[in-house]
Structure 1
Amino acid sequence: MMPRDNMTCLVKKIARQALVTFRNPFAVGEANKAFLENQTKLKTLMTEVRAEDLKLVARKVDSSLISPPHSPPVTYMHICETDTFSMGVFLLKSGASIPLHDHPGMHGMLKVMYGKVRITCFDRVDKPPTATSSSDTPFSPPFQKGALRLSVLRSTGEYTEESEPCMLSPDRDNLHQIDAVDGPTAFLDILAPPYDPDDERDCHYYKVLDPVVDTEAKKTESQNQKEVWLMEISQPADFWCGGEPYPGPEVSI
């Protein structure tokens, strides 16, 4: 690893590599060798980056002690955005969460800058709820089947600045919840392409309901994957995201 004082342009290298990796949407996917090679290069750069490269100062004190009582639990530092990708930093207060949400048709990488996060990841199951009989779900009105998503609890893990990036794809770990653990935390986030409601890439929020109880679920659980029903909900009232200035090197694409 090169000395940190020689890495002032690392965030620019990450942005350029993200552009190369995701600029051709028709070539993005695990079946494309060139994409996988570029994705690996991007992951390597993301693994190297640290808080000081973005001029971030770790907030060791619970932010609730120094912030107004009604300040947002999560804030975002915008670094750059193109039609290809967006990049920025999320900062979570101690005990704050980014609720369970999805990234329709998007790839992403998340690298912790300081603190610790717990990330709980789900994948959708292809079998649609509307194709099941009423006995397949343990729910009755007011739950509407159209609002339910059969999903698999894929993984739960904790990440620190020493961890490799957490990665998601349109089909893998696409739904996840992010919780701050043991204090404030911050992470660098890349999404490709960015959210765009006009292009059917809007953010949806979900609530975990009871696990599925049937033969297929038992088979899945035996493979260390638990099937659950997710219900789409409105953005939780206790979650909102504010903005903060980004203090690091300017990035222009």
Structure 2
Amino acid sequence: MPRHNMMSSLIQKIARQAHVTFKSAGSSVFLENQGLLDSLLTEIRAADLKIAPRKRKSSSKCLDSSPPVSYMHICETDTFSMGVFLLKSGASIPLHDHPGMNGMLKVLYGKVSIRCFDKLDEPPDAEVQTHFEPPLLPCQRDALRRSVLGTVSVFTEESGPCILTPHKDNLHQIDALDGPAAFLDILAPPYDPDDGRDCHYYQVLQPASEPVDKKPEEMWLLEIPQPADFWCGGEPYPGPEVSL
């Protein structure tokens, strides 16, 4: 079979399996379906999507005003969305969440660090809110979240997918290490602000003093507007067509 037919069939298989997998979310066969999707994603490479690794730009060149991160849209249904994020060398996707959503990320080229957090149910009490320097403004106190640091992992194209769930590793920051990077991204269901699935950004706060009973792995997160130094551009997807 010609290589280009293999490439087309692989991304098509991934899309179809993603549809089956996330249609079954909450059922007894979900984990089995997710395992099949995991296996397919482990095989995917940049060449399968006709994407070539970007070269690191010389720092001696004039200031680059293009976005630090770009997105290639592949497909979207009511069940899931799929696309490719491309990060410049040193770029970051800031700490953010996917409320009520599953996610699977597969690095296509380069190396990324993914740092994950989990929100804790109990809200911070009034005493905790006085431990920050400078003190939180009244409008910020309602945006403070108690959380726990989850996994911190490095992924390359040889790694399997990074799996995010609505309750585990849902908040995460993605950093490109040692050059440009790209990853295939599946979200299920897609973002939909009208249905309560909007993206929120967070800042890790370091209190001036910690409560005595605070556990070492607990962190404080402040919900913030989208950081001014982060924006995401769009690029056309050059790979095989996907139909569902």
Q: Do Structure 1 and Structure 2 share a fold, with TM-score over 0.5?
A: yes
Correspondence for 1:14: 14
- The residue correspondences of 1:27-106 to structure 2 (distance < 5 A) are 28-29=25-26, 32-62=27-57, 69-106=64-101
Report deviation, 1:70: 1.1
Q: SS state of the match for residue 7, structure 1?
A: helix
CA RMSD of aligned residues (A): 2.2
Match of 2:168 among 165, 172, 192: 172
- Ranges in structure 1 where 5+ consecutive residues have no aligned partner: none
Question: Could you tell me how far apart the structure 2 residues matched to 1:228 and 1:103 are?
Answer: 19
* CA offset digits 1:184-211 (Å, max 9, x no partner): 0000000000001010100000000016
Question: Could you tell me how far apart the structure 2 residues matched to 1:85 and 1:64 are?
Answer: 38
Report deviation, 1:5: 5.7
Structure 1 stretches of at least 4 aligned residues deviating more than 4 Å after TM superposition: 2-6, 63-68
Match of 1:233 among 180, 205, 224: 224
> Judging changes above 3 Å, is the alpha-carbon distance between structure 1 residues 13 and 63 closer, same or farther for their aligned structure 2 residues?
farther
Match of 1:198 among 194, 201, 217: 194
> Judging changes above 3 Å, is the alpha-carbon distance between structure 1 residues 172 and 59 closer, same or farther for their aligned structure 2 residues?
same
> Judging changes above 3 Å, is the alpha-carbon distance between structure 1 residues 100 and 167 closer, same or farther for their aligned structure 2 residues?
same
Report deviation, 1:215: 4.7
Identity over aligned pairs, percent: 67
Q: Report the AA paired with residue 205 of structure 1.
A: Y
> Which is helix-richer, 1 or 2?
1
Contact 2:128–2:211 (CA under 8 A) maintained in structure 1: no
* CA offset digits 1:57-96 (Å, max 9, x no partner): 0113338788972110000000000011000000000010
- The residue correspondences of 1:145-156 to structure 2 (distance < 5 A) are 145-156=141-152
Correspondence for 1:209: 205
Contact 1:54–1:249 (CA under 8 A) maintained in structure 2: yes
Q: SS state of the match for residue 33, structure 1?
A: coil
TM-score (norm 2): 0.91
TM-score (norm 1): 0.88
- Ranges in structure 2 where 5+ consecutive residues have no aligned partner: none
Correspondence for 2:179: 183
Q: Report the AA paired with residue 160 of structure 1.
A: T
> Judging changes above 3 Å, is the alpha-carbon distance between structure 1 residues 216 and 53 closer, same or farther for their aligned structure 2 residues?
farther
Contact 1:64–1:93 (CA under 8 A) maintained in structure 2: no
Question: Could you tell me how far apart the structure 2 residues matched to 1:198 and 1:107 are?
Answer: 18
Correspondence for 2:23: 23
Question: Could you tell me how far apart the structure 2 residues matched to 1:67 and 1:196 are?
Answer: 38
Q: SS state of the match for residue 151, structure 1?
A: strand
Question: Could you tell me how far apart the structure 1 residues matched to 2:127 and 2:122 are?
Answer: 14
Question: Could you tell me how far apart the structure 2 residues matched to 1:190 and 1:204 are?
Answer: 18
